[in-house]
Amino acid sequence: MARGDSWKEDLSKTETLGMAKSLKKHGINREAWLVRHLFDESELKQIPTRNGYGDGLVEAGKKNKDIVVLCCDLTESTRSDRFKKAFPDRFIQLGITEQAMASMGAGLSLVGKIPFISSYAAFSPGRNWEQIKTTIALQRSNVKIAGAHAGLSVGPDGATHQMLEDIAIMRTVPNMTVVVPCDYEETKKSTLAGATFKGPFYFRFARAASPSFTTAKTPFKIGRAELFRHGDDLTIIATGPLVWEALLAAERLSEDHGIEARVINCHTIKPLDEKMIVKCAKETGAIVTVEEAQVAGGLAGAVCETLALTVPVPVERIGAQDRFGESGEPRQVQEGLGVTATFIALAADRVLQRKLGHKVPLIPAHILAAQKGLALAQNEILTESLARAPKKWGGTKPDSSLKSRKKA
């Protein structure tokens, strides 16, 4: 992506395309109150976003005695155990019954309780979507649906547990609010906001540790996207833990190529902050969406629908491209599906070329690079698996490894 100073000359031509020019303000937005060592991974805390859910539940429970928590045999994994320990008489363990949990949550809301129903996103809303639609959304029940282990961070559990479709299926449900917090602090804020929000509320969070880069002072309000970085060449609209990857990509684009990308934290997918989306499209003329979910129907779908009706501009989409996930370490899978900073930067390069009217390859470079990386990752995973399997099972380990240990 060798562009150098010529980018600035070319980008000035967007005025002839009728693109509105924003004020020349670049870099991290100080009013976002992000952590000081934003890109220093040795200083940056790595905390699972699910921890924010557990801590938020306890804090919300202290403020309101009507809050109850339901879980489907995943108490520790979802961090619901923290609420259970603090308020055992307001915690209900149901076993593996997500459909019943949704209906029970709706019933509890009818008698004035504020239920948080907790499970893996693959099961809730994955398994109980019909109950959520009928008993919660249709009735406008005041139920909070917490989808844990969403996205790719569940890693080794593979495609069956890597929920990538939840944003799409939940934002199509009438009366439903959909929130995707970006880190521990924002997940805690989302939990507290959900506790006071009236109506059906879905939010998802991840299993693996990720950068905790916002602070208690970072602005957060349901339905309002936040400006995390100034820029006037393009806008990167991201959601969830990948917001940090978007910021990292923007920093690299600035340092290496003089390209200034605006970065928006779009934590609320529904209701979408259409005013912010349109403003960014008018001022920068190019958009890249970033999410750890299917681009069809997810954040990308929401943004593209809005722009198609208002300010059509070039858009590139980072996320799952009509495919399932893979088994592997979380970072390995994220690289394989092309959702990290390197791929975001490639998408930014492509969308800028389109903005300037340049021809681009039919298949985007960021998708080709991800496919190549995924093939290498799959080979590494296969080699590792064969090394742990005996030869009679097709592996490379001696068959003698199958012999049972002698009893002492």
Cβ-Cβ contacts under 8 Å for 113 (sequence gap 6 or more)? 66, 67, 68
For the record, the structure tokens of 382 come out as: 């296969």
CA distance 282 to 310: 10
For residue 229, give the 3-state DSSP assignment: strand
Q: What are phi and psi of 220, to 5 degrees?
A: -150, 125
Beta carbons of 34 and 214 less than 8 angstroms apart = yes
* 320 secondary structure, DSSP code: E
- Packed helices 49-63 and 184-196: angle between N→C axes, nearest 10 degrees: 30
Cβ-Cβ contacts under 8 Å for 36 (sequence gap 6 or more)? none
Beta carbons of 243 and 228 less than 8 angstroms apart = yes
Beta carbons of 272 and 289 less than 8 angstroms apart = no
One-letter-per-residue 3-state SS of 262-330: EEEECCEEECCCHHHHHHHHHHHCCEEEEEEEECCCCHHHHHHHHHHHCCCCCEEEEEECCCCCCCCCH
Show which residues are catalytic: 98
Cβ-Cβ contacts under 8 Å for 207 (sequence gap 6 or more)? 48, 50, 77, 148, 149, 153, 154, 155, 330
Q: What are phi and psi of 346, to 5 degrees?
A: -65, -40
Alpha helices in 111-241 (DSSP H): 129-131, 166-171, 184-196
